[in-house]
Structures are given as structure tokens and as C-alpha cells.
Amino acid sequence: MKEVVTGNHTVSHAARVGRAQVVAAYPITPQTQVVEKISEFVADGIMDAKFIKVESEHSAMVACIGASAAGARAFTATSSQGLALMHEVLHWAANARLPIVLANINRAMGPPWTIWTDQIDSLSQRDTGWMQFYAESNQDVFDSILISFKVAEQVLLPAMVVLDAFFLSHTAEPVDFPEQEVADRFLPPRVAEYTVDPEHPAAFGGLTGPDHYYELKYMEHNAMLEAREVIERTTREYGDLTGRYYKMVDPYRCEDAETVLVVSGTIASTTKDAVDEARDNGKKLGSVKMWTFRPFPREEVRALLLGKKRVAVVDRNISFGQEGIFCTETKASLYGRDGAPPVRGFIAGLGGRDVKVRDLLAIAEAAEEEDCPEFNWYGVKP
């Protein structure tokens, strides 16, 4: 069933169709419509869930942790400062191996106050053990959330689906919602093990010394690695049901490309137009959309980029004192491999500055220069 709906409301629908049982969330621009819509669903009885109107994002994540530990399917949504406030317990959720799903509206960090998009908020959480998916469109948002629930519950790691503030959150696009029965077939109710249950008393998360902690982390990391196969399998299953197949790294006109742009989020969408325009002008440009950031799809990145003439990574984020984060991670996957192309990083679009087709073409052109620096700050005003 196709509807024209904003990114935020898409998130609400995904939580509803995905049968989230406990939602604990705190409002923050530009996420507020997510929770408002969920409130309506719950009040109207079309969503069978408890919505805990917590008093902060930290408590939102903690309440999700409690609910998930009890065996319920837990969901929340936030952005920027709110996600940062959750940081301490994002670690807790992952280390406790709880399959919570979170939708993050990518919003730049203050100060100064800003409500527009960039990826520093979510990328700052990359080491917490959460899976991360970067959505390109509202359809992507919906599908990613459903896929995330299933993958998370299988590997016992939480997942966040990330979407750009305003470009997706407040922009209405056509979204095809699968029927509830189709969704239920894909995503049956959670079957939780190791829950907080009076019939099987145990302590969870007690003091653990060096003798055991190390192996628990080893298991956690392996779960992330296992997630790669689970994501592959699950996206195939989802594709068979809906006709939409997602790839962890999604190439666009890459096969014979000389220059490949590595992009994510809505920039990935714009890049396709840039690629088409470049191709029309005889340029062998291609792009690769990073849909999955954690677990980092190293194999897929290598398969697509090794042997290419050059790579330009467009980062709507920055790790101060280093470079763009997708750039660093891409380089790390290619390091020391035969056929590893030169990789140039370009920062663009921080704080919601628009990245247009012509910007991407300019970046591709700059990357072609022999003396193009390794790290570039695109379009800084003098």
C-alpha cells in the first residue's frame, strides 16, 4: 500500500508494523513527529504497545533496556543531543546483548544550536556495539527498520537506522508499506531467551573480572561479524517478499567506473543524479552507497573498489583531528590490498549545508587532479 509520508511518520509506521511492544522516547527536533504519531497509534488502539513518556533520552534508552531485558520488542527514536545523552547506555544496551531498535534523525551537534543534518551524532556512537544503517529515502527508512528488528533479534545486538534531518524527516515521499500479514510473516513475534523472569532467577551484568570480561567482548564482536551474513540473508528474504533488495554496499554504475564516489544518506540519492549527468558527458563515474556502517562491510567494499582508478569519499561528518569517518573506514578496508586505489576524502554538508549535484560533480573532478590532497574540505567560505 503506497502512501506519501514524511520520514518521521515513516518511522512511526515502521514501529507500528514492526509490532514494537514498548516505546520509550523523549521529544527532540526534528524527531518529534515520530513520537507524536506513535502516541496517536497507541491512543487509538491500532498499536498494541506501551509508550513510556520518559523525562530524558538517557531514561528512554534505559527504559528500552529494561523492557527488552524482560523479553519485549523495544523501540525508540532520537537525534543529536538526545543520542549523545544516551551514549553511556548505548554501550549498556549492546553489552547486555539486547535487540533494541532506534531511529536516529541525523542532526548536527551543538553548540551552537543547530537543527540541520549531519552524521556526527550517529557516527560518534560507532564504537558502542550498535549496528548502523544509513537510509537514503523514506522507503529505505521503513524497510531498514523492519530488517533491523529481525537482524537484531537474531544476533542479539541493537541496531540504529539513521535518516537525515529535514531532507528525509520532514520531506514527504511515496512509501510502499507491506500489508501487516506480509510484515508478520517476515517478522514474527520476538522469541527471547535469557530474560529477566521470576521463574528463572539470575543476575544480569554483575561484576566481572579480567578473567571473563575479555571473552564476553569476543562474543560481542563475533556477533557483529555474524550479523553480516544475517543481514545478507535477511535482506534477501525481505526482497523476496517486497521486491526491494538491500545491499550493505550498494553500487550505482560502478562496473566500468574510473572514479567512484563513496556516499551515504540522502547524498547517496543525489549522487545517482550526478553520476547520470557525468555519464551523459562521457565521464566514467560511479557511486557506492554505504547502507550498512556497522558491521563495516569490508568484503563488499573491497569487491567494489579494488582495481578502480580512484575513490572519493564524501563525508557529511568529521572526526576532528583526523578526517571523515567513512573515509577512514574505507581506507582501512583497502589497506595493503592489491589494486587499492588512491582514496581522497571530502567533507561536505555539515550542519545541513546542501550538497547538490554540481557539488558532487565538482568533488569528482577535484578527485581526478593528480595533486588532489588526501583530505579536502569542500566549499569552505573564505
Partners of 50 in beta bridges: 22
| Binding of other proteins by 64 (CB under 8 A) | yes
End-to-end CA distance of the chain: 49
190 versus 316: smaller Cβ distance to other proteins: 190
Contact string (CB under 8 A) for other proteins, positions 17-36, x = contact = ----xx-x------------
223 versus 231: smaller Cβ distance to other proteins: 223
Rounded to whole angstroms, the Cα distance separating 145 from 105 reads 13
Position among 9, 97, 228, 316 found at the interface with other proteins (CB under 8 A):
97
Position among 204, 225, 229, 307 found at the interface with other proteins (CB under 8 A):
204
CB of 309 to other proteins, least distance (A): 44
3 state SS for 55-72: CCHHHHHHHHHHHHHCCC
| Binding of other proteins by 63 (CB under 8 A) | yes
* 132-191 residues near other proteins, rule: CB under 8 A: 156
Residue pair 326/313 in contact by the 8 Å Cβ criterion: yes
| Binding of other proteins by 197 (CB under 8 A) | yes
Coil, strand or helix at 89: helix
Taking CB under 8 A as the binding criterion, the range among 85-93, 146-154, 231-239, 250-258 that sits at the site for other proteins is 85-93
Position among 113, 181, 210, 212 found at the interface with other proteins (CB under 8 A):
212
CB of 193 to other proteins, least distance (A): 8
Taking CB under 8 A as the binding criterion, the range among 54-62, 103-111, 244-252, 354-362 that sits at the site for other proteins is 54-62
3 state SS for 307-362: CCCEEEEEECCCCCCCCCHHHHHHHHHHCCCCCCCCEEEEECCHHHCCCCHHHHHH
Contacts 24+ apart (CB under 8 A), 332-335: 332/298, 333/296, 333/298, 333/301, 333/302, 333/305, 334/301, 334/302, 334/305, 334/306
| Binding of other proteins by 81 (CB under 8 A) | no
| Binding of other proteins by 201 (CB under 8 A) | yes
| Binding of other proteins by 206 (CB under 8 A) | yes
Rounded to whole angstroms, the Cα distance separating 40 from 145 reads 20
Burial readout 310-339 (b: 16 or more C-beta within 10 A, e: otherwise): bbbbbbbbbeeeebbbbbebbbebbeeeee
Q: How many residues of this chain interact with other proteins, rule: CB under 8 A?
A: 54
Sorted by sequence, the CB contacts under 8 Å of residue 28 that are 6+ apart come out as: 57, 78, 79, 80, 81, 82, 107
Coil, strand or helix at 35: helix
192 versus 347: smaller Cβ distance to other proteins: 192
Position among 11, 14, 52, 313 found at the interface with other proteins (CB under 8 A):
52
State the virtual CA torsion across 125, 131, 135, 141 in degrees, nearest 10: -120
| Binding of other proteins by 196 (CB under 8 A) | yes
| Binding of other proteins by 227 (CB under 8 A) | no
Position among 66, 239, 251, 342 found at the interface with other proteins (CB under 8 A):
66
Sorted by sequence, the CB contacts under 8 Å of residue 188 that are 6+ apart come out as: none
Position among 1, 46, 207, 380 found at the interface with other proteins (CB under 8 A):
207
| Binding of other proteins by 87 (CB under 8 A) | no
| Binding of other proteins by 230 (CB under 8 A) | no
Position among 40, 88, 240, 299 found at the interface with other proteins (CB under 8 A):
88
Taking CB under 8 A as the binding criterion, the range among 132-140, 168-176, 200-208, 340-348 that sits at the site for other proteins is 200-208
205 versus 282: smaller Cβ distance to other proteins: 205
| Binding of other proteins by 45 (CB under 8 A) | no
CB of 18 to other proteins, least distance (A): 14
H helix or E strand, kind and range, residue 180: helix 180-186
Residues forming contacts to other proteins in the complex (CB under 8 A) are 21-22, 24, 49-50, 52-56, 58-60, 62-72, 74, 88-89, 92, 95-97, 156, 192-198, 200-209, 212, 216, 219-220, 223
